[in-house]
Structure 1
Amino acid sequence: MDANTPATPVCLLSPEQIAGPYFRNPKLIRRNISEGVDGIPLILRLTIVDAMTCEPVSNALVDIWHCNARGAYSGWSKINPDLEVDTGDIGAIPRTDDDTYLRGGQFTDQSGNVRFTTIYPGFYAGRALHIHVAVRITSGNNYLEERHVAWVGQLYFPEVASRSVLGNRQYSGRASVPLSNEQDELYTTMGGDVSTLNIHTLGRDSNEDGFFGQLTIGIDTFAVSNQIKPEDFDKYTV
């Protein structure tokens, strides 16, 4: 090959991870999912590409959900985040409330991009800091035209950024300590290293201005994930 010939792009299938016990389907199409909860701002941009062709996947519905600065998930806000839960199955832990903070979905644009305004997540006992993601293939910008869940994963954070965040008042004073990425079994066994966000500070002088995180996720648009099944969406809609 001539040295001046552009290389053929290499696209990789991103590793799936479990959906976890705190999945629900509130059917919230929104960019800003923070609902005013306290925490360091995070702007998140995800790019969804077809791992077989390297082409962007448009009109895919990307849902994200994560805990707040104190480690609590909306819908399960009364669960003590400083005590480890003994299950990772969807719906195995009864909901405690109808809150919807830090949950929402966006349809990818023609470039395969979605963008969310949220906060840097905290942690709960037994896990490293992470954000859950599910990608649904649709036939249009409408929940009624869903086809299938193609990919379910988790996104992680660089340790240096997380340490600087966890020192802030919104995140500190906990009865438990977060696991590092390398201490987290899901990170080490399910490809967390390639699911780690690229993080940059939004402000020049302080991380309190927030962070910008981005990642490209390669999916098989014809795959049907076994991490979230159709009945899971039906059962946990509200």
Structure 2
Amino acid sequence: MHFSSFFSVFFCGLVLAVPTAPVPRDCSAEAREYNVARRDARGLSKRTFYSEMLNTTCVLAPETPSEDYIPNPPIRVDVTENQPGVLFTVDIGVLNTVTCQPLTDVMVEIWSPNAVGEYGETFLRGATTTASNGIAEFLTIFPGYTSDSANHLNILVHSTSSESSSVVHYGRLFFTDPWTNIIGMYTNYNQNTNTRVLNAQDPIFAEANQNGFNSIIECASLLYMNILVLNRLF
């Protein structure tokens, strides 16, 4: 079974916190307001899925970039390079967990495998800085599973607007297996010849979700997005 057509664009997100201090501030209230403002800006006010905005703070385990990382990707928002697949927009918001205020002009990188689980030298790779609202927005496609990993996105955050500045966070973001089951029926994804890797079979997923850490992206609706917020300390 496969779909010759699906939905053109969907939105995913969660609220993330990167622990860089022993006792970071709880920014859940600010994250809620942040999500509402971003949702209104997208014109999605009437496209609700949850009865209220998600504002749970999830914590990413510290990781290091994997061997598929290539430094200095192109500066761009649309990273698709005409790769076939299910388009989706991801907004990565960077918050200071001391002040709970957005951090502007911070370089964010994103990269992922294509629908059949292959990494390229340029496609599905890009970088951009956070805007005045602290958000870096990317247009990409839902990633396929690789030979040794479940479906995931990679993100990297720098300390300044320069790609040569120090890296303050790297993380791998996963999706729920039910979502990847649905996407896997879509044309192009069903051509993936890798053996399917579920989250529970991915050792990196296990590491990223132990000891209270959480690296799962919430897919709220096909038409509505709760933004992805990356909380961090300076």
Cα separation, 1, equivalents of 2:199 and 2:124: 22
Partner of 2:127: 105
Question: Would the aligned equivalents of 1:198 and 1:214 in 2 still touch at CA under 8 Å?
Answer: no
CA positional deviation for 1:8: 6.2
Residue 180 of structure 1 corresponds to which residue in structure 2? 198
- Alpha carbons 1:28, 1:103 under 8 Å: kept: yes
Share of identical aligned residues, percent? 22
- For residue 164 of structure 1, the aligned residue among 175, 182, 185 is 182
Letter of the structure 2 residue corresponding to residue 216 of structure 1: V
- What is the distance in 2 between the residues matched to 1:69 and 1:41? 11
Partner Cα separation in structure 2 for residue 172 and residue 186 of structure 1: 24
In structure 2, distance between residues paired with 1:219 and 1:184: 26
For residue 153 of structure 1, report the CA deviation from its aligned partner. 0.6
1:117 and 2:139 aligned: yes
Partner of residue 84, structure 1 = none
Once the two structures are superposed, residues 48-86 of structure 1 have per-residue CA deviations (whole angstroms, 9 ceiling, x without a partner) of 1123332212111000000000111112xxxxxxxxxxx
Deviation, 1:16, is 2.0
Match of 1:48 in 2: 94
Matches of 2:147 and 2:73 in 1, distance apart?
28
Amino acid at match of 2:174: Y
* Deviation by residue 1:26-60 (Cα, 9 ceiling, x = unmatched): 44111100011110111111111123332212111
CA contact (8 A) 2:108 2:129 kept: yes
Q: Deviations over 1:128-173 (max 9, x none)?
A: 11111110011xx455xx5311101111112221110011121114
Larger Rg, first or second structure (1 or 2): 1
Q: Distance in 2 between matches of 1:212 and 1:71?
A: 25
Structure 1: distance between partners of 2:82 and 2:74: 16
Deviations 1:163-188 (A, max 9, x none): 10011121114333322212211111
Q: Structure 2 residue aligned with 1:198, among 214, 218, 230?
A: 218
Compare relative contact order (CA 8 Å, sep 6+) and give the higher one, 1 or 2.
2
Equivalent in the alignment of 2:107: 61
TM-score between the two structures when normalised by the length of structure 1: 0.68
Match of 2:228 among 208, 215, 218: 215
String of CA shifts for 1:199-233, please: whole Å, max 9, x gaps.
14435xxxxxxx85742222233xxxxxxxxxxxx
Aligned counterparts of 1:104 and 1:202: Cα–Cα separation in 2:
24
**Is the contact made by 1:47 and 1:56 (CA closer than 8 Å) also made in structure 2?**
yes
Secondary structure of the residue that 1:150 maps to in structure 2? strand
Query: Contact 1:197 / 1:214 at 8 angstroms: preserved in 2?
Result: no
Larger CA deviation: 190-199 vs 43-52 = 190-199
For residues 213 and 49 of structure 1, what CA distance do their matches in structure 2 show?
Answer: 15
Taking the aligned partners of 2:68 and 2:228, their CA distance within structure 1 comes to 23
User: For the residues of structure 2 that align with 1:161 and 1:12, how far apart are their CA atoms?
Assistant: 19
Contact 1:47 1:112 in 2 (8 A): yes
Q: Which residue of structure 2 aligns with residue 29 of structure 1?
A: 75
* TM-score, length of structure 2 as denominator length: 0.69
Assess, with a 3 A threshold, how the Cα gap between structure 1 residues 53 and 119 changes in structure 2: closer, same or farther. Answer: same
Residues paired across the two proteins, number = 180
